[in-house]
């Protein structure tokens, strides 16, 4: 008899042509989540993953594994040999925790190994009767039981009564690749989290204005990326100095257009890196109406320089809802640290709030747009976070 942790992904994930790819990825993500623990074995058996380790670690391990997208639930289980006596012994051990409690139960048998006898209905009945004989306070309720006693018959038998929900979502990588424009603020890490949750593999690009922005400001962004990697696994972070571009804008364009023109350059550069690295979408923390620059005209103007889809998952959320998610994923405290952002360094006194595309394009005629983009990409730094 051995205590193991059972891990279930959504069923769809374990079927179909991509199964092998999915399984390899899932194993990698689980391994990463438990990399700071010692464990004897991580294996897959008929549709579920199992971890074999010192049970004292299971609560902490469960917390770490819960963060892997696509996991539906985690069940601390008892693994026994596949014979009636061992299964009964395992059931007895599992229901010990409910002894003396007045509760109802039902046995759910999942006979994955179809050669096993007795068949499910009979086995459920037998085990139900066994529990009644060997417990105090427990009674059967087949419609609305308080305790579900699961018995999975596979190569071994697995018995469990607790299913701890995962955070859901889809496994990373199942929905393609995206590039998030990651500032040091509250919003963009949350945007990255939300899109990653739907299975998108994330990399990030951050713009700074060094030396006007400090090393500490960049450290902050790295820390934010580090928090994200707890969920999304390792990520690549591209760091781009926007200062030459901001200087060029400052010298050649209207002051009021500084923010929106900078934003258009950010989009162009993100577009360029994304295409080079195989990302199929851009992701931003933009919303509507939150700040002066976030008007539909502003979003249209910044989006017009790329033909990649731009995902803005926060448009449906209020700031309080965004903050709540930031707190849950652990980025909030870091996001509110008061370091300067490249946009605030060159903040115009009265920014245009409803820019016209034709005006912006005319302003940009004074700039060597392609040369500036090219230079910024050539000089960018690349960091691997969280591996
Ligand atoms: P955030 O909290 O994410 O900084 P915000 O509410 O401060 O967002 P803005 O500063 O207008 O909003 O930025 C909107 C979006 O543009 C950000 O969510 C981010 O995706 C992108 N962005 C802004 N500044 C940067 C930057 N320095 N580096 C990378 N992306 C940025
Ligand atoms: Mg910001």
Place of tokens 């066994």: 130
Contact 257, 367 (CB under 8 A): no
Q: Which of 186, 188, 331 most suits a substitution to test ligand 1, by most atoms within 8 Å of the C-beta?
A: 188
Q: How far is CA 131 from CA 78, 80, 121, in A?
A: 16, 17, 15
Query: What's residue 280's pLDDT?
Result: 98
Which residue has the least CA distance to atom 4 on ligand 1?
185
Residue 8 Cα to ligand 2 middle (Å): 38
Residue 293 alpha carbon, nearest atom of ligand 1: 11
204 lines ligand 1 (CB under 6 A): no
Residue 206 Cα to ligand 1 middle (Å): 9
Which-ligand-closest: CA of 188?
Answer: 1
329 lines ligand 1 (CB under 6 A): no
- 111 CB contacts (<8 Å, ≥6 apart)? 119, 120, 123, 153
Cα(104)–Cα(117) distance, rounded to whole angstroms?
26
Query: What's residue 26's pLDDT?
Result: 83
Query: What's residue 289's pLDDT?
Result: 82
Residue 240 alpha carbon, nearest atom of ligand 1: 28
Which-ligand-closest: CA of 186?
Answer: 1
- Selection from 107, 233, 125 nearest residue 161 by Cα: 107
Take residue 315 and report the two structure tokens written for it.
């448009």
**pLDDT digit string (tens) for 127-178?**
999 999 999 999 999 999 999 999 999 999 999 999 999 998 988 888 899 9
Query: What's residue 339's pLDDT?
Result: 80
Cα(170)–Cα(197) distance, rounded to whole angstroms?
6
**Which 3-state string (H, E, C) describes the chain?**
CEEEEEEEECHHHHCCCCHHHHHHHHHHHHHHHCCCCCEEEEEEECCEEEEEECHHHHHHHHHHHCCCCCEEEEEEEEEECCCHHHHHHHHHHHHHHHCCCCEEEEEEEEECCCCCCCCHHHHHHHHHHHHHHCCCCEEECCCCCCEEEEEEECCCEEEECCCEECCCCCCCCCCCEEEEECCCCCHHHHHHHHHHHCCCEEEEEEEECCCCCCHHHHHHHHHHHHHHHHHHCCEEEEEEECHHHHHHHHHHCCHHHHHHHHHHHHHHHHHHHHHHHCCCEEECCCCCCCCCCCCHHHHHHHHCCCCCCEECHHHHCCHHHHHHHHHHHCCHHHHCCCCCCHHHHCCCCCCCCCCCHHHHHHHHCCCCHHHHHHHHHHCCEEEEECC
**pLDDT digit string (tens) for 257-296?**
999 999 999 999 999 999 999 999 999 999 988 676 789 9
Q: Which of 178, 179, 187 most suits a substitution to test ligand 1, by most atoms within 8 Å of the C-beta?
A: 187
Residue 344 Cα to ligand 2 middle (Å): 8
Extract the residue ranges of the chain whose pLDDT is less than 50. Answer: none
- 324 CB contacts (<8 Å, ≥6 apart)? none
Total-model pTM: 0.88
Residue 186 Cα to ligand 1 middle (Å): 9
Query: What's residue 37's pLDDT?
Result: 97
75 lines ligand 1 (CB under 6 A): no
Place of tokens 């994200």: 228
Q: Which of 178, 181, 182, 183 most suits a substitution to test ligand 1, by most atoms within 8 Å of the C-beta?
A: 183
Alpha-carbon 220 to chain mean position: 20
Residue 343 Cα to ligand 1 middle (Å): 9
331 half-sphere exposure, CB direction, 13 A CA radius: 31
185 lines ligand 1 (CB under 6 A): yes
Which-ligand-closest: CA of 322?
Answer: 1
Residue 343 Cα to ligand 2 middle (Å): 8
Query: What's residue 19's pLDDT?
Result: 78
């Amino acid at each position: 008899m051995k205590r193991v942790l059972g891990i279930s992904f959504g069923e769809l994930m374990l079927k179909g042509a991509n199964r092998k790819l999915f399984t390899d990825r899932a194993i990698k993500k689980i391994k990463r989540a438990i990399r700071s623990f010692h464990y004897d074995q991580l294996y897959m058996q008929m549709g579920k993953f199992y971890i074999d380790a010192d049970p004292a670690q299971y609560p902490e391990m469960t917390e770490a594994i819960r963060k892997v997208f696509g996991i539906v639930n985690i069940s601390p289980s008892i693994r026994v040999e596949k014979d009636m006596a061992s299964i009964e012994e395992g059931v007895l051990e599992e229901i010990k925790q409910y002894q003396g409690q007045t509760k109802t139960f039902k046995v759910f048998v999942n006979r994955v190994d179809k050669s096993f006898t007795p068949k499910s209905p009979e086995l459920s009945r037998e085990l139900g009767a066994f529990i009644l004989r060997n417990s105090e306070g427990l009674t059967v309720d087949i419609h609305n039981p308080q305790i579900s006693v699961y018995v999975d018959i596979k190569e071994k038998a697995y018995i469990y009564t607790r299913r701890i929900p995962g955070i859901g979502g889809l496994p990373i990588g199942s929905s393609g690749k995206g590039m998030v424009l990651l500032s040091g603020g509250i919003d963009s890490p949350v945007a990255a989290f939300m899109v990653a949750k739907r299975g998108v593999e994330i990399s990030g690009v951050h713009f700074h204005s060094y030396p006007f922005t400090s090393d500490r400001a960049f450290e902050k962004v790295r820390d934010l990326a580090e928090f994200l990697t707890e969920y999304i696994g390792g990520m690549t972070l591209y760091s781009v100095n926007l200062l030459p571009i901001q200087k060029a804008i400052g010298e050649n364009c209207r002051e009021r257009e500084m923010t929106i023109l900078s934003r258009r350059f950010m989009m162009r550069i993100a577009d360029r890196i994304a295409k080079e690295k195989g990302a199929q979408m851009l992701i931003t923390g933009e919303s509507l109406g939150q700040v002066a620059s976030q008007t539909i005209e502003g979003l249209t103007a910044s989006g017009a320089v790329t033909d990649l889809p731009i995902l803005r998952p926060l448009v449906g959320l209020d700031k309080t809802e965004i903050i709540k998610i930031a707190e849950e994923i652990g980025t909030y405290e870091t996001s509110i640290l008061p370091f300067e952002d490249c946009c605030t360094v060159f903040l115009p006194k009265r920014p245009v709030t409803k820019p016209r595309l034709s005006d912006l394009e005319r302003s940009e005629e004074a700039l060597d747009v392609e040369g500036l983009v090219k230079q910024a990409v050539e000089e960018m730094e690349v960091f691997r976070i969280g591996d």
